[in-house]
Structure 1
Amino acid sequence: MNQDARERMAELSRGLKTLRSLTPNETYLTVAAIPDGPEVPVSASELNPRRGAWQTGYAHRLRLTDAAVLIVATATAGVLRFGDDASNTVNIGHYTTSYLVLGVVIAALWWVALSVSGTRDHRIVGHGADEYARVAKTTVMAFGAIAIFSLLFKWDASRGYLAIAFPMGLIGLIVSRKMWRNWLGRERTRGRAHSRVLVVGGVRSAKRIAEGFIAGGAGGYRVTGVWVPDRKGTRNEWLDIPTAFIPVMGTQRSLVGALSISEADTVIVTDTEHLGHDGLKDLAWQLEGASIDLMVSPNVFDVAGPRIHVRGVSNMPFIHLERPTYAGAAKFAKSAFDKAFALLFLMSMLPLLLAIAIAVKLDSRGPILYRSERIGVGGKPFFMLKFRSMTDGADRHVDHLSSSNEGAGPLFKMREDPRVTRVGRFLRRYSLDEFPQFINVLRGDMSVVGPRPPLRREVEQYTRPAQRRLLVKQGITGLWQVSGRSDLTWEETVRLDLDYVENWSMMRDLQIIWRTVQAVAKTEGAY
């Protein structure tokens, strides 16, 4: 890259940093901070943007933590298997060594395997299940390799030692990765540790992606520029997002210029027609040799990964979307899990349930349980059970309190509802009033996980998309419960419930149950 090109790139970068340091109102007064003059021709490979220091530092932390976990696992296995007897040795063919040395060798080979299999790749760490899956797969393969090695070379290592070392190591690796993910998530919510993204395609698609990244700040991506290759114009424009400065560039910028302004280390292509015939292939060629990731967005939102499959037909890639899995939510496995879980829960919580029942009865007049008509799967009504948390006959006062409604859409909610009793306020804070719904699960009216059970008046106001919430059994908890509870807007509640209906899986149910425990403990959005 010649000196003129370097100076031009530096000028573009300084202009962008100046704009990002301004408030939204100041931004529009300083458009000249990004130069609109001609660019000096360079190739993308000459840019080689330095990836965020967080990626290098994060990978280094994982390497150190992995090494510590594996050494501790192998050493602990030796202590648990042989106690403090350091004289135990193992024969490997004609060689004899101690279990201490063997543990160090196993830990080193295991650590190398984790590196080779890409468990610390910046494209998978911090989100999704791929990182955990690779760690587990690598551990199983390492164990298998050692088993084969022991057979081939007549290695008489203790099976008990290995049976302790590998499970302990795997658990330690998963726990340590989870801890680092939590740290990384906190960093990202503070605006740090993000990959910078240049979106190539239409403005509308770019806005949807940018808003999605902002809403899911812990995902690790932030849109810093949009390039529409066939968009006519001589000056830079801005994406219509009040909370972020994102320049929109057109024909006045080349790919290299757009990458320089956005300081991007990742390119996401949304609408390939803007690139023209063979445009995506040409774009990939331009990025060859550059430290820039290239991704293609299919413009399919709220569809979980298991439903997406890439197929190659006649040298052309196609994304195959599996049918929604809401039919699978009625399968025997889910029904059996629901009933077993509900029965176990009710039996284990029986003393607490009795204590709550006595407290409700002593606190105010009226029945212990509150029966509320709800609309279930297929529009069939049922009576949902809860511990009574309001004064008897509270439903008759809803119309009088309608002016104080703080709920979203057809939902009725009040933070300081005068009908709530003293005991009821405590029960609601920790969701203890919901416990009798496990009886509904045993009856088959509800599921442990599912969309929020709606009232008849709410269903009467449903739009066509919202009607799809009734395709599966309603749940005691769901995505709405672990994503904000009563603090969500109506639109967000519907979107989350539809996401669950369309992308149900048994593993997802287990994840939601675990997240529910955490959400209830925080008591956020409960009133």
Structure 2
Amino acid sequence: MKQGGLANPFSSAHERLGNGTISETTIDWEERYRRAVITSDTVATALVVAAIGNFFGVRDAADWHEKWGILAFGTELLVLGALAVSRAWTPAILGQGAEEFRRLGRALFAAAVVLALGGIALTSRNIKLWIFVAIPALALVTMTARYLLRLRLHKQRKEGRCLRPVLAAGSPATVRDLITRARRFPHLGWRVDGVCTTDGLGLEGNQLDGVPVVGRLADVADHVRRDGYRVVAVTPDPHWSPHRLQRLAWNLEGSDAEMVVAPVLMEVAGPRLHVDAVLGIPLLRVSMPAFTGGRRAVKAVVDRMGAAILVVLFAPLMVLVGLLVLMDSRGGAFYRQRRVGKDGREFTILKFRTMVAGADRARDALADRNEGAGLLFKLRRDPRVTRVGAVLRRYSIDELPQLFNVLTGSMSLVGPRPPLPEESAAYGPDIRRRLLVKPGLTGLWQISGRSDLPWEEAVRLDLRYVEDWSLALDTVILWKTLRAVLHGHGAY
């Protein structure tokens, strides 16, 4: 596509035509983005290594030329080699998800291990600097640079550019769900440009939610090769037998398309899914969710250490906020409320007071104005909220005292939303699975819209967290929480 002004390095390489065909420009944006990431990693590595080498090497200029220069150059080559071996530049994982940062972390860890072993073999006294200073600095700089590149890419995708054209193949109902999800989350980079169904028809004749039905399931490979789709998304349909899926995979060999098969267990993902070959049959193994064990112990330690650090950092702000709350309206600075935690045990949650004194007693009078979804009670313009309270709620500052709940072990930094006792009492068996883990100060609901989410979507996100929890997922949620808080979307 041509844009006004300067050429965009991430401009889309494909354009959807009226008949569903994908036209391919001479420059592929995916390759451009990959080159941008490689350049970013290379420049960041060179700058960090040069800065550390110069800073510490000036103390002994002679030694710098003989040893420091060799170590600096060797460290840079080792890091870049580790990134290549770890497939940290694979286009399929760039720009979305935690896998990109997971591979980057693995590569840097592997580089640190090799440096340590090399230092032992060469009895080098300077190797500690590169392991404990250079590698952590590289991790900080490269991850920040990749995140900034990702933000720019996501902005382009929200404008309808830099999207991978997808051919969805399955039943009309499951394909429609895929189309809806792709449109709801454009930052993931999928745009369904064509549909194949069993009979070559959609729910609206030759279209399905505005996407043209280009053919039958038996003709998927032909359409991919002719029209240049980059992703073939196979959704559930009785047509898809193991033999037909295998045949489709064979027919797609040699094309640029990536084949993605949606399993029946749509809400189970991440570390719980494993593909094993048993008796020559590929089986999708779903492991049990981990509610105890070593990883949970690590999470508990990280929770308390993180909460302690955050309390110290935010102590001046919390003192100031407490004084503002006291000056704005009558009542105490803190609000205490009973909530339900892990295994249904109740605890007292702490928040800064954002409403007038006695606000709980006025709730029944506002019941007919409730705008909350499902079991939640929410009002966008709640008359009980004070002036200071409105600001605190918008930026979630009122929730900072919950750090003390994390310190005492009743909450976690990341987890499902802590429900009220009356909400919990109305839970069905499925929703009660939210209580299998500690509630969180933030969670998937916090970074996905908060109070603007439909009740069913909020429950789905909480259950997804319970089922698919991992330390990497916690890290991503904490990182995205900052942006969600600054934007203030869905907070009232």
TM-score, structure 2 as length reference:
0.83
Bigger relative contact order, structure 1 or 2 (CA pairs below 8 A, ≥6 apart): 1
Separation in structure 2 between the aligned mates of residue 184 and residue 443 of structure 1, nearest angstrom: 40
2:451 to 465, 486, 490: 486
Letter paired with 2:18: T
1:249 to 215, 225, 249: 215
Separation in structure 2 between the aligned mates of residue 327 and residue 116 of structure 1, nearest angstrom: 33
Q: 1:368 touches 1:387 (CA, 8 Å); kept in 2?
A: yes
1:159 aligns with 2:134: no
Q: Cα–Cα, structure 1 residues 399 and 324, in superposed 2: closer, same or farther, change >3 Å?
A: same
Letter paired with 1:479: L
Correspondence for 1:122 = 91
Matches within 5 A, 1:34-433: 53-83=28-58, 87-88=62-63, 103=72, 107=76, 110-111=79-80, 114-115=83-84, 117-142=86-111, 158-159=126-127, 162-163=130-131, 165-228=134-197, 230-231=198-199, 237-238=205-206, 240-241=208-209, 244-247=210-213, 249-250=215-216, 254-259=219-224, 263-271=228-236, 273-276=238-241, 278-327=243-292, 331-433=296-398
Separation in structure 1 between the aligned mates of residue 111 and residue 406 of structure 2, nearest angstrom: 43
Letter paired with 2:41: D
Q: 2:40 touches 2:145 (CA, 8 Å); kept in 1?
A: yes
Q: 1:49 touches 1:292 (CA, 8 Å); kept in 2?
A: no
Note the C-alpha offset of 1:318: 0.7
Separation in structure 2 between the aligned mates of residue 286 and residue 509 of structure 1, nearest angstrom: 39
Q: Cα–Cα, structure 1 residues 463 and 50, in superposed 2: closer, same or farther, change >3 Å?
A: farther
Separation in structure 1 between the aligned mates of residue 392 and residue 93 of structure 2, nearest angstrom: 40
Separation in structure 1 between the aligned mates of residue 109 and residue 298 of structure 2, nearest angstrom: 27
Separation in structure 2 between the aligned mates of residue 201 and residue 435 of structure 1, nearest angstrom: 47
Note the C-alpha offset of 1:54: 0.9
Note the C-alpha offset of 1:317: 0.7
Q: 1:391 touches 1:420 (CA, 8 Å); kept in 2?
A: yes
Correspondence for 1:40 = none
Where do 5+ consecutive residues of structure 2 fail to align?
Answer: 1-13
SS in 2 for 1:513: helix
Q: Cα–Cα, structure 1 residues 71 and 464, in superposed 2: closer, same or farther, change >3 Å?
A: same
SS in 2 for 1:210: helix
Separation in structure 2 between the aligned mates of residue 239 and residue 340 of structure 1, nearest angstrom: 54
Q: % of aligned pairs identical?
A: 36
Q: 1:328 touches 1:504 (CA, 8 Å); kept in 2?
A: no
Separation in structure 1 between the aligned mates of residue 123 and residue 341 of structure 2, nearest angstrom: 61
Q: What per-residue deviation string (whole Å, max 9, x for no partner) do you get for residues 337-380 of structure 1? A: 44444444445544443433333333222333323233333334
SS in 1 for 2:211: coil
Q: What per-residue deviation string (whole Å, max 9, x for no partner) do you get for residues 125-171 of structure 1? A: 1123333343344445556667777888x797953674455544444
Q: Cα–Cα, structure 1 residues 293 and 463, in superposed 2: closer, same or farther, change >3 Å?
A: same
Q: What per-residue deviation string (whole Å, max 9, x for no partner) do you get for residues 277-309 of structure 1? A: 622222222222222222322232222311111
Note the C-alpha offset of 1:415: 1.8
Could you tell which deviates more after superposition, 56-65 or 493-502? 56-65
Q: 1:445 touches 1:473 (CA, 8 Å); kept in 2?
A: yes
Correspondence for 1:30 = none
Separation in structure 1 between the aligned mates of residue 238 and residue 390 of structure 2, nearest angstrom: 56
Note the C-alpha offset of 1:320: 0.7
Where do 5+ consecutive residues of structure 1 fail to align?
Answer: 1-13, 21-33, 35-46, 92-97
Note the C-alpha offset of 1:310: 0.6
SS in 2 for 1:423: helix
Separation in structure 1 between the aligned mates of residue 19 and residue 108 of structure 2, nearest angstrom: 48
Separation in structure 2 between the aligned mates of residue 145 and residue 359 of structure 1, nearest angstrom: 53
Q: What per-residue deviation string (whole Å, max 9, x for no partner) do you get for residues 25-72 of structure 1? A: xxxxxxxxx9xxxxxxxxxxxx99779721121122123223322332
Q: Cα–Cα, structure 1 residues 237 and 250, in superposed 2: closer, same or farther, change >3 Å?
A: farther
Q: Cα–Cα, structure 1 residues 51 and 313, in superposed 2: closer, same or farther, change >3 Å?
A: farther
Separation in structure 1 between the aligned mates of residue 127 and residue 266 of structure 2, nearest angstrom: 48
Letter paired with 1:313: V
Larger radius of gyration: 1
Correspondence for 2:437 = 472
Q: 2:201 touches 2:207 (CA, 8 Å); kept in 1?
A: no
Correspondence for 1:17 = 17
Q: Cα–Cα, structure 1 residues 418 and 324, in superposed 2: closer, same or farther, change >3 Å?
A: same
Correspondence for 1:42 = none
SS in 1 for 2:349: strand
Q: 2:41 touches 2:142 (CA, 8 Å); kept in 1?
A: yes
Number of equivalenced pairs: 478
Note the C-alpha offset of 1:249: 2.6
Q: Cα–Cα, structure 1 residues 100 and 342, in superposed 2: closer, same or farther, change >3 Å?
A: closer
Q: Cα–Cα, structure 1 residues 420 and 121, in superposed 2: closer, same or farther, change >3 Å?
A: same
Q: 2:275 touches 2:282 (CA, 8 Å); kept in 1?
A: yes
Note the C-alpha offset of 1:276: 4.5
Note the C-alpha offset of 1:468: 2.0
Correspondence for 1:4 = none
Q: 1:408 touches 1:489 (CA, 8 Å); kept in 2?
A: yes
2:418 to 436, 450, 453: 453
Could you tell which deviates more after superposition, 390-399 or 378-387? 378-387
Q: Cα–Cα, structure 1 residues 422 and 291, in superposed 2: closer, same or farther, change >3 Å?
A: closer
Separation in structure 1 between the aligned mates of residue 475 and residue 483 of structure 2, nearest angstrom: 13
